Structure 1
Amino acid sequence: MSFEIINSPILATIQDKGRFGFSFLGVSNSGCSDEFAYFWANKLLKNSLDTNILEISFSNFIIEANKDTQLSITGADCEFFINEQSKEIWQSYNIKKGDIIKIGKILSGNLVYLAVLGGFDIKKEFGSNSTTIKEKLGGLDGDKLKKGDILPYKNRVCNYTMRLKKEFIPNYEENLTLRVVFSYQEEYFSKEEKNKFLNSSYFVTNEFNKMAYKLKGTPIKCQIDGIISEAIAFGSVQIPKDGQPIVLLKQRQTIGGYPKIGVVLNIDCFKLSQARTNTKIRFKEISYEEALDKSKSFSKSFFESSADLKNS
């Protein structure tokens, strides 16, 4: 029982929630970039919320099912087809043997998520199926998916489908406000520079990927040029010598030597991963306590959100 990839996708990988506890070996966390879309793709199938999934960048991804199953599609607004028939995303579908599933043009956002009932039946490395290409870990042989690859799954079927209510589906075209906790080397940024950071508009450059987003706008000055390399948290905001902020995401390096002004709230990093070039970014300060509360509420919501689903 499996899907077979029948075209040559530009970039599609297998991801799950990530790989934790191995940073001391230089192994990055990796994992799905947009956890909101990832969790909902699994929840639509009643999968465990750490089940592996496909993370698809760019247009034109085509697979064929060789056994009945059920799948769900979430994430970036895209053209989605089953046997050339246009379908809506943010819902689940029953799939029959021989069905052709296609992700066409991505209309807004960056990343589409495709989940299968029960997940893909592949071996974990360092406790995760997440693909990290630069480290050759996870997925199928530690690499992006290619034509002819086989994605095995167990023979599981379901007699109903689900969809997410429209009011809960995100709009990836909006300008973003990223909430940030000042931390790390904040004492080396003057009050004036912090205010400049919070009151300036930045724009997403074309230099972004799963590792980081580089922004462009009013330069921020730090009183020091560098630091002894130290561990880097998800959402850390580095300020290199040119003063342009870099927000570090799931496949960030494990250590780094640029000064950091603070850390972006994890929930907002998920939104940032769907932002395209020239998206307008503003920063807003929040306290550590507020950030912790919002992060906990986000995680808790996925265990109590059945009312957000509808039978379809």
Structure 2
Amino acid sequence: MSLEIINSPILALVQDKGRFSYTSIGVTNSGVMDEYAYYIANNLLGNDFDTNIIEIAFSNIIFKANKNTTIAITGAKCEFFINDIALNTWQTYNIKAGDIIKIGKILSGSRVYLSVYKGFLIEKEFGSNSTTLKENLGGLNGNKLQKGDVLDFEKFDNSSIIRLKKHYIPNYEEELTLRVVLSYQDNFFKQEEIDKFFSNTYTITNEFNRMGCKLDGNTISCDIDGIISEGIAFGAIQIPKDGKPIILLKDRQTIGGYPKIASVLSIDCFKLSQCKPLQKVKFTPILLEEAQRKVKLFYSSFIR
């Protein structure tokens, strides 16, 4: 026994970078919603690039450690305790057998990440530990973590502590501007509709989960009602018949028939994943070549 879930969390999932090359058979990529927080947690621990982690989407989850290890907590600002002592996140902690770890109220942001040294000892499915609830894949039996679940890991004794410098810690309360590359289907949208898309400020609705994020604001009209269903990229912005944009995220369906006006830069989707309903977002255009350069720079800073 290693890390035991003591209470009944609302939504905590084992995730990693995701599974790839299976969308042709209807298996979504899945994976962590906020890759920045994910890679920082694993880097703090010296873990491999794709080591699994726990993604916690709602307040109040309690763990008991049954072995010594080192953990890192990143992501949303939250109440974090070890043995009822309040502590800071975005750093490592050395855990002893019997320690109680608690993530309390989430104060800003939406998702907290807990990583252990070398990750959890879980068999992969389709090359990944990522949990996809709608496909019953990954994690522990394809399900969210529940009271009594145990996640095994290698025992590890350590004495050092590593902290992330404060200026690298994100502020999740800022109004978010998402950089987008216009879709190859943008010719289905009149120029005034594209201008409206970029000039409007949208509100995140309650229809926001791991599959996608629906926005409220000025409606966008399209010259066609739909397209032949095709593959959907991470960050693609669909315009359904009601004209309200939907940004497709990690657990998105593998194909869809709504026209797409643009696609959000993947590294900006990670910031979006930490937003909450009623927060405001805007869009700004970015050239494809510049988008590729920024994404390459992001990943090169984490790969050792």
TM-score tier after normalising by the smaller chain length: over 0.9
Sequence identity (%): 63
Aligned match of 1:63: 63
Asked if 2 retains the 8 angstrom alpha-carbon contact of 1:118 and 1:156, the reply is no
1:179-190 equivalences in 2 (<5 Å): 179-190=179-190
**Counterpart-to-counterpart distance in 2, 1:111 and 1:163:** 19
Aligned match of 1:135: 135
Aligned match of 1:310: none
- Where 1:163 maps in the other structure, the secondary structure is coil
Count residues in correspondence.
Answer: 304
Structure 2 unaligned regions, length at least 5: none
1:1-312 equivalences in 2 (<5 Å): 1-303=1-303
> 1:262 offset after TM fit, Å?
1.1
**Counterpart-to-counterpart distance in 2, 1:49 and 1:76:** 21
> 1:261 offset after TM fit, Å?
0.4
- Bigger Cα displacement from structure 2, 57-66 vs 151-160: 151-160
**Counterpart-to-counterpart distance in 2, 1:184 and 1:116:** 42
Aligned match of 1:308: none
Asked if 2 retains the 8 angstrom alpha-carbon contact of 1:132 and 1:251, the reply is yes
**Counterpart-to-counterpart distance in 2, 1:197 and 1:129:** 37
> 1:302 offset after TM fit, Å?
1.7
Structure 1 residue runs of 4 or more that deviate by more than 4 Å after TM superposition? none
Structure 1 unaligned regions, length at least 5: 305-312
**Counterpart-to-counterpart distance in 2, 1:127 and 1:159:** 33
Q: What residue identity is the alignment partner of 2:170?
A: P
**Counterpart-to-counterpart distance in 2, 1:130 and 1:107:** 26
- Where 1:44 maps in the other structure, the secondary structure is helix
Asked if 1 retains the 8 angstrom alpha-carbon contact of 2:49 and 2:303, the reply is no
- Where 1:14 maps in the other structure, the secondary structure is strand
> 1:139 offset after TM fit, Å?
0.1
**Counterpart-to-counterpart distance in 2, 1:45 and 1:222:** 48
Q: What residue identity is the alignment partner of 2:59?
A: S
Give the TM-score normalised by structure 1: 0.96
**Counterpart-to-counterpart distance in 2, 1:11 and 1:163:** 27
Q: What residue identity is the alignment partner of 1:5?
A: I
- CA deviation map 1:145-194 (0-9, x unaligned): 00000100011222211010000100101100000000131110111111
